[in-house]
Structure formats: C-alpha cells, structure tokens
C-alpha cells in the first residue's frame, strides 16, 4: 500500500511531555526543598518527626475532601457543601457510636448513608432540576448549617476510644488517617481509569454534548460524582470526630470547601472539567500542607499565611492557563511567519 505522504510524522508518539500531574509533583519537591533550605538558614529543621506527622495528618483531612471534589470538578460541577457535610457527618457518626466500641460500624454506616443522601440530593438537583451546581451546593450547605445550628448547641455524641485510634495511630511517621486517604485516592484513580462511569466523567466534563452524541448517559457520571464527593466528605467528618472524640458542628467554618477546590486546581485539574485527576490533587494537597508547615516553622504571621497561599494558588492556575492558550482555536489559514527561525538564521548567517 503506497502511502508515503500519510507517513508524514503527523502524530507525536513516543515520549509524552511531562504532564500537569508530573509538574505538580515537581512543584511539591521544589516547595519541600526550598522550605527545608529556608528553615535551615534559620538553623531549624523542616521535617522533624512532629512536623511530618502534622503535615501528613493535615493532608489526610483535606485530601479526603479534595479527592471527592476532584470527581465533581472533573464533571464540570462543583461542591460547596463539603464543609457542612463534614460537620454533619462528625455529629451523625459520634451520636450513632454513642461511646460504644460495638457501635463503630453503625456510626460509619450512618455517615455513609447520610452523606450519600446529601450527595444524591445535590446530584439530582443539578441534573434533573438543572440548577447551577454553585447555587445547589451553596443552598444545600446552608440547609445543613441551619439544621446543625438549631439542633446542636455544641459538641455532640461520643466517639469510643477504639475509633479515636483512627485519628491518632501511626505507623512510623505515617498516620493511619493518611494511609486511609491514600487508599481512597488509589481507589478513586482506579475508578476513573477502569469503570465506564469514571471514564465518562471526563467525557461529560469535557463536553457534555459530545458525550451525549456518543451515546453516554450524561447524568449518571455527574450523579455518581456528587454522591462520591459527599461520601468522602463524610469520611473526613468521621476523621474529625475521631480526633476530637466527639461530633463537632463548627468544622464547617474551617473553609474546607474552598481549600479543597484550591487543592484540586493546584493539582492541575481544570476548573471547567474534563481534564486532570486524583494523582494531581493529592500532590496539590501536599503542597498546601507543606506550605503551612513551612510557614509555621518560619513563624509567618497567620494572616499573612493566607495571602501567600492565595498567591500560590492563583500563580499556579495562571501557569496552567499559559500552557493551554489557543489550543482549541482552529489553525489560521495564513499563519504569521514564525518569529524565531529568521532570527536564528540571521545570527548564524552573521557569524561565518
């Protein structure tokens, strides 16, 4: 078969460029090294055992929330109710356990059920009633907040000592909660790669119309994402309960919804969906946690810490945006003459 012209190397197989996920891990490494260097310059150590444990514990909590948030954002949706779901779950879990070791599983099941129902409600409102997810989940968050504020005036329930181990056990420097978060992350990665629902999340987030035209039932991935997101937020709530020993309603004011979105975006997932993944998100979470640790070690003013964090997130997204300028545009019919080659030419020509 004669097709020499077709063999023109149009596609670029072989070595892929370092993907965005790779870049985030490089950034994580850079932040770690820079932080360690700064600390060393002040005669301090960044990764002491205490600091490492603190860093990983912090990451496990935010990580759980951010993994769920990743799924939702991949579908071009958003969940602003995760903080409230966490608070609700910590209360539900702690009250259901009622201080008895035998009721641990009852507590866990109750949390999964309640959180799953909240996520299902979110998903149904977004897909069936076509309410913008921003408004849907903001409203859902307010509903949960109202319920918690009227029903509970303070900490509620009692977490048995066995379950508190979930918050404090560690293997070496790795807290059990971090291992759980990592396991959930692995499950999420497999889910996104190996199940049709997972694969279709990318399709729906990338272009819902294309997905529909290809025979994908576009509502399903979105529903699944909202349910799973609420469930991971529920797990984070359980972790909070385990650490506090009781259900805490006030967790919702800790700003987990926005911080989880920041972690997802920092991890290279497009806020508009269709691209990214859980791997990047975990790195994003670790970057944020490392920054916190570095700021603590350096004794940065806590308010100024927020300024720095905000700057980092915006800078990262600006960087990603640069990488994808004009990607979608149709190629010009009369492309401008390339600027670089003539310059090079002149230079080499100038020096015989």
Partner 1 sequence: MTGTAQAPLLRMRGVGKSFLGVPVLRDVDLQVRAGEVHALVGENGAGKSTLMKILAGVHRADAGTVELGGARVDFDHPVRAREAGVATVFQEFNLLPERTVAENVFLGREPRGRGLRAGVDARAMEEETGRLLEELGLTALSPRTPVRALSVAEQQIVEVVKAMAQSARIITMDEPTAALAGAEVELLYRLVRRLQERGTAVLYVSHRLQEIFDLSDRITVLKDGALAGTVDTGATGHAGLIRMMVGRPVSAVFPPKAEGTRTGGVRLEVSGGGNRWLDGIDLRVRAGEIVGLAGLQGSGRTEVAHALFGIDRFTRGELRIDGERVAVRSPRRAVRSGLALVSEDRKTQGLALHRSVLDNGRLVLDAVMPLRSRERARRLPGLFSSLELVARSPAQEVRFLSGGNQQKVVLAKWLAAAPSVVVLDEPTRGIDVGAKHAVYTLVRRLAAEGAAIVLISSELPEVIGLADRVLVLRDGRIAGELPGGAAEESVMGLAVGAAPARAGGEADR
Interface residue list for partner 1 (CB under 8 A)? 1, 3, 5-13, 190, 193-196, 198-200, 202-203, 206-207, 209-211, 213-216, 270, 274-275, 327-328, 330-336
Q: Are 88 and 114 contacting, i.e. CB atoms less than 8 angstroms apart? A: yes
CB of 206 to partner 1, least distance (A): 4
**Closest CB to partner 1 among residues 43, 335:** 335
Q: Which H helix or E strand runs over 123?
A: helix 104-127
**Closest CB to partner 1 among residues 249, 269:** 269
**Closest CB to partner 1 among residues 161, 328:** 328
CB of 324 to partner 1, least distance (A): 8
CB of 221 to partner 1, least distance (A): 12
Rg (CA), the chain: 23
CB of 65 to partner 1, least distance (A): 24
Q: What span, in angstroms and rounded, lies between the C-alpha atoms of 204 and 212?
A: 8
CB of 208 to partner 1, least distance (A): 11
Give, in degrees to the nearest 5, the angle at Cα 328 between 322 and 329.
100
**Closest CB to partner 1 among residues 209, 341:** 209
CB atoms near residue 80 (< 10 Å): 22
CB of 320 to partner 1, least distance (A): 13
Q: Are 161 and 155 contacting, i.e. CB atoms less than 8 angstroms apart? A: no
Give, in degrees to the nearest 5, the angle at Cα 80 between 75 and 86.
110
CB of 220 to partner 1, least distance (A): 12
Q: Supply the DSSP symbol for 274.
A: S
**Closest CB to partner 1 among residues 63, 279:** 279
CB of 188 to partner 1, least distance (A): 14
Q: Which H helix or E strand runs over 174?
A: strand 174-175
CB of 212 to partner 1, least distance (A): 8
Sequence-distant (≥ 6) Cβ neighbours of residue 199 within 8 angstroms: 192, 193
CB of 196 to partner 1, least distance (A): 5
Beta bridge partners of 170: 175
Sequence-distant (≥ 6) Cβ neighbours of residue 109 within 8 angstroms: none
Phi-psi sector, 220: left (phi>0), alpha (psi -120 to 50), beta? alpha
Q: What span, in angstroms and rounded, lies between the C-alpha atoms of 162 and 179?
A: 17
**Closest CB to partner 1 among residues 1, 340:** 1
Sequence-distant (≥ 6) Cβ neighbours of residue 338 within 8 angstroms: none
CA distances from 202 to 59, 62, 134, 147, 155 (A): 25, 23, 19, 35, 40
CB atoms near residue 179 (< 10 Å): 15
Q: What span, in angstroms and rounded, lies between the C-alpha atoms of 313 and 293?
A: 16
Structure tokens at 119: 């996520």
**Closest CB to partner 1 among residues 189, 308:** 189
């Amino acid at each position: 078969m004669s097709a020499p012209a077709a063999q023109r190397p149009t596609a670029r197989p072989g070595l892929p460029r370092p993907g965005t996920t790779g870049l985030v891990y490089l950034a994580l490494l850079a932040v770690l090294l820079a932080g360690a260097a700064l600390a060393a310059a002040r005669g301090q150590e960044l990764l002491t055992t205490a600091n490492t444990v603190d860093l990983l514990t912090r990451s496990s909590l935010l990580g759980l929330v951010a993994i769920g948030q990743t799924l939702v954002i991949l579908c071009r949706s958003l969940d602003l109710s995760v903080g409230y779901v966490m608070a609700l779950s910590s209360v539900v879990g702690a009250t259901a356990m009622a201080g008895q070791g035998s009721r641990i599983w009852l507590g866990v099941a109750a949390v999964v059920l309640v959180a799953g129902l909240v996520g299902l409600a979110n998903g149904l409102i977004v897909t069936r009633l076509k309410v913008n997810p921003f408004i849907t989940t903001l409203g859902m968050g307010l509903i949960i907040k109202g319920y918690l504020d009227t029903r509970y005036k303070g900490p509620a329930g009692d977490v048995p000592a066995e379950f508190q181990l979930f918050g404090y056990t560690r293997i070496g420097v790795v807290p059990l909660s971090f291992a759980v978060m990592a396991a959930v992350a692995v499950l999420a990665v497999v889910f996104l790669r190996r199940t049709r629902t997972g694969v279709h999340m990318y399709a729906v987030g990338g272009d819902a119309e294309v997905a529909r035209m290809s025979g994908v039932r576009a509502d399903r991935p979105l529903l699944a994402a909202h349910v799973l997101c609420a469930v991971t937020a529920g797990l984070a709530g359980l972790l909070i309960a385990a650490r506090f020993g009781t259900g805490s309603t006030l967790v919702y004011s800790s700003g987990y919804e926005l911080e989880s979105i920041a972690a997802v975006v920092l991890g290279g997932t497009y806020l508009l969906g269709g691209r990214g993944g859980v791997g990047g998100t975990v790195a994003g979470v670790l970057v944020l946690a490392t920054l916190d640790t570095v700021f603590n070690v350096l004794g940065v003013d806590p308010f100024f810490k927020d300024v720095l964090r905000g700057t980092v997130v915006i800078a990262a997204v600006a960087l990603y945006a640069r990488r994808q300028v004009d990607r979608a545009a149709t190629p010009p019919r009369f492309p401008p003459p390339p600027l670089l080659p003539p310059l090079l030419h002149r230079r080499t020509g100038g020096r015989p």
